[in-house]
Structure 1
Amino acid sequence: MKIGGLGSRFVLTFLAFAMVPDAAWAAYKDPTAGGDGGRIIRVTTLAKDGPGSLKAAIEAKGKRVVVFEVGGVIDLERSILDIEEPYLTIAGQTAPSPGITIIRGGIDLKGHDVKISHIRVMTGVDGQAKRSGWEADAFSTVAAHNVVVEHCSFLWAIDENMSTSGPRFKGQTLADWRAGTSHDIVFRENLAAEGLADASHPKGEHSKGTLIHDNATGITLYRNVYAHNMERSPLVKGGAQVLMVNNMIYDPGRKAVHYNLMNLEWKGHEYVTGEITAVGNVMRGGNSTSKGLPFLMLGGDGDLAYFGKDNVNVDRWGKPAPMFGRYGETKAKLIEKSAPLASLDGLKVMPSAELETSLLASVGARPWDRAPDDIRVLFFVAEGRGEIIDDEKVVGGYPHSVETRAPFVEKDWNIATMTPRSGRYPGQQEEAQEKLSGRDRQMRDGKAK
Structure 2
Amino acid sequence: MKLSLPLLLLCALSLSTSLPAQTAPWKWQHALVPDVGMDLDAAQVIHVTSLASKGKGTLRDSLKVPGPKIVVFDVAGVIDLEMKGIEIKEPQVYIAGQTAPAPGITLIKGGLSIEANQVVLQHLHVRPGDAGQPKKSGWQPDGITTSGGPADVWIDHCSVTWSLDEGISASTYKSPTGEPAQRIFIRNCIIAESLNDATHEEGPHSKGTLVLDGTQHVAIAGNLYSSNVERNPVFKLNTSGVVVNNVIANPGQRAIHASVPTAETANLPRAKIAVVGNAVFFGEKSKRSARAIFEGTADGYFKDNEGYDWFGQPLDLLRAPFPTLEQPPVWPEGLKALGTTAAIWQVTRFAGARPAERDAIDRRIVEQAFGGTARVIDSQEEVGGYPKIEPVTHVVEVPEKKRTEWLEKLAAEVIYGPEGKPKARSSTP
TM-score by length of 1: 0.81
**Whole-Å separation in 2 of the counterparts to 1:284 and 1:290:** 12
Decide whether the 8 Å contact of 2:134 with 2:198 is kept in 1.
yes
| Aligned partner (choices 248, 267, 273) of residue 276 of structure 1 | 273
Residue of structure 1 aligned with 2:357, choices 349, 352, 369? 369
Q: Which residue number in structure 2 is paired with residue 5 of structure 1?
A: none
Structure-2 separation of matches of 1:108 and 1:36:
22
Instruction: Provide the residue aligned with 1:297 in structure 2.
Output: 295
Residue 316 (structure 1) shift = 2.4
User: Structure 1 residue 35: deviation in Å?
Assistant: 6.5
Equivalent residue in structure 1 for 2:138, among 127, 133, 141: 133
Q: Is the 8 A contact 1:29 1:346 kept in 2?
A: no
1:366-405 matches, within 5 Å, as 366-405=354-393
Q: Do the aligned partners of 1:118 and 1:366 also contact (CA within 8 Å) in 2?
A: yes
Post-superposition shift, 1:188? 0.3
Using the TM superposition, give the Cα deviation of residue 340 of structure 1 relative to its aligned residue in structure 2, in angstroms: 1.2
Matched, 1:323 2:280: no
Partner of 1:419: 408
Contact 2:172/2:214 (8 A) holds in 1:
no
Letter paired with 1:157: S
Find out whether 1:96 has 2:101 as its counterpart. Answer: yes
For residue 335 of structure 1, report the CA deviation from its aligned partner. 3.6
Structure 2 gaps of 5+ residues are 1-27, 420-429
**Equivalent in the alignment of 1:20:** none
Compared CA separation, residues 164 and 264, structure 1 to 2 (3 A): farther
What's the CA shift for 1:292? 4.4
Counterparts of 2:65 and 2:39, CA distance in 1: 12
CA distance in structure 2 between the partners assigned to 1:133 and 1:73 by the alignment: 24
Mapped partners of 1:29, 1:47: distance in 2: 27
| Match among 308, 311, 318 for residue 314 of structure 1 | 308
Secondary structure at 1:79 match in 2: coil
Which amino acid is 2:409 matched to?
P
Structure 2 contact 98–411 (Cα < 8 Å) conserved: no
Distance 1:365 1:321 in 2: 30
The residue that corresponds to 1:337 in the other structure is 325
| Equivalent-residue separation in structure 1 for 2:401 and 2:371 (angstroms) | 37
Aligned equivalent of 1:118? 123
TM-aligned CA distance change 1:28 to 1:89, over 3 Å: closer
Q: Deviations over 1:281-315 (max 9, x none)?
A: 111111331114311111xxxx6201000011111
Instruction: Give the partner amino acid of 2:295.
Output: M
| 8 Å CA contact 1:142, 1:181 repeated in 2 | no
Cα distance, 1:390 vs structure 2? 0.3
The answer to whether the 8 Å contact 2:241/2:272 transfers is yes
Structure 1 residues 29 and 126 mapped into 2: Cα distance closer, same or farther (>3 Å)?
closer
Decide whether the 8 Å contact of 2:156 with 2:187 is kept in 1. Answer: yes
Q: How many Å apart are 1:239 and its aligned residue?
A: 1.1
Who is 2:427 aligned against? none
Contact 2:32 2:408 in 1 (8 A): no
Letter in 1 for 2:212: H
| CA–CA separation in structure 2 for the residues paired with 1:96 and 1:421 | 10
Partner of 1:54: 59
Instruction: Give the deviation of 1:343 after TM superposition.
Output: 2.3
For 1:337-364, what per-residue CA distance to the aligned partner results, in whole angstroms no more than 9, with x for missing partners?
0011122532232111332122110000
Equivalent in the alignment of 1:17: none
CA contact (8 A) 1:81 1:107 kept: yes
CA contact (8 A) 2:126 2:143 kept: yes
1:158 and 2:164 are equivalent in the alignment:
yes
The question of 1:70 aligning with 2:75 is answered yes
- 1:36 and 2:40 matched: yes
Query: Which residue type is aligned with residue 115 of structure 2?
Result: K
Other-structure match for 1:444? none
State the alpha-carbon separation in 2 of the partners of residues 112 and 321 from structure 1: 39
Unaligned 5+ segments in structure 1 are: 1-23, 327-332, 431-449
For the 8 Å contact 1:305–1:337, the answer to whether it is kept is: yes
Which letter maps to 2:157?
H
Deviation per CA, 1:175-203, whole angstroms, max 9, x where unpaired? Answer: x8xx5332110000000000000001001
Matched residue type, 1:285: F
Which amino acid in the other structure matches residue 306 of structure 2? V
Q: CA deviation at 1:26?
A: 3.0
Inter-CA distance 297–86: structure 2 relative to 1 (3 Å threshold): same
Relative to structure 1, the CA distance from residue 287 to residue 47 in structure 2 (aligned partners, 3 Å threshold; closer, same or farther) is same
**Greater radius of gyration (CA):** 2
2:16 alignment counterpart: none
- Give the letter for the 2:313 counterpart: K
What is the RMSD computed on CA atoms of the aligned residues?
A: 2.6
- Match of 2:370, SS state, is helix
CA contact (8 A) 2:356 2:413 kept: no
CA distance in 2, matches of 1:405, 1:412: 22
Q: Which amino acid aligns with 1:295?
A: I
Distance 1:218 1:380 in 2: 32
Overall identity of the aligned pairs, in %: 31
User: SS at 1:420's partner residue?
Assistant: helix
Look up the SS of the partner of 1:368 in the other structure: helix
Which amino acid letter does the alignment assign opposite residue 272 of structure 1?
P
SS in 2 for 1:229: coil
CA offsets, 1:148-200, max 9 Å, x none? 110000000000000011248x79xxxx8xx5332110000000000000001
Equivalent-residue separation in structure 2 for 1:422 and 1:75 (angstroms): 25
* 1:348 corresponding residue in structure 2: 336
One-letter amino acid of the counterpart of residue 344, structure 2: E
Alpha-carbon distance in structure 1 between the residues aligned to 2:67 and 2:349: 36
Amino acid at match of 2:271: G
- Quick check: 1:292–1:321 contact (8 Å CA) kept in 2? no
Aligned partners of 1:105 and 1:138 also within 8 Å: yes
Distance apart, 1:41 and its partner CA:
0.8
- Do the aligned partners of 2:98 and 2:410 also contact (CA within 8 Å) in 1? no
Q: Which has the higher strand share?
A: 1
Distance (whole Å) between structure 1 residues aligned to residue 372 and residue 254 of structure 2: 18
Cα distance in 2 between the residues matched to 1:422 and 1:315: 36
Q: Deviations over 1:224-263 (max 9, x none)?
A: 1100000001111011101111111000011111111554
- Residues 412, 422 of structure 1: 8 Å contact kept: no
